[in-house]
Amino acid sequence: MAYDEGLAQMMREDFHDVDGITEKKMFGGMCFLYRGHMVCGVHKGGGMFRPGKAREAEALAIEGAAPLSFTGRPMGGMIDASEEAIADDEKRRKWIELSLANAKSLPPK
């Protein structure tokens, strides 16, 4: 597997009481979507969150976060997080909170 299933399971459990969450393999990992909009996911070496541009600075201020850049160019509104940071319940909870708020603000797919 190209990602840590343990990290994916932690995220899965974080969404246990959120209706509308689905899982999809993408970006070489596993992503969690809210009604079709990406919230977060895990990939080899860590994970990613989509807090959106309005919440990006707040998400990046959390230790262990960096701009997401698969191609060498930062992807606006998305952050990358190390495995160690994602394993921290409080950090992961905050990133998910920011990213879920972003997904809920988007128009239905």
Tens digit of each residue's pLDDT (9 = 90 or more) over 36-82: 999 999 998 899 999 999 999 999 999 999 999 877 788 899 999 99
pLDDT of residue 27: 74
Domain definitions of the chain by residue range: 5-105
Distance CA 70, CA 103 (A): 21
Counting residues of the chain whose pLDDT is more than 70, the rounded percentage is 99
What is the architecture, at CATH level 2, of domain 5-105? Answer: Alpha-Beta Complex (3.90)
**If you average pLDDT over every residue of the chain, what do you get?**
93
Outline where DSSP puts E strands in 11-78: 21-26, 29-34, 37-43, 46-49, 65-67
pLDDT of residue 1: 54
Distance CA 26, CA 44 (A): 12
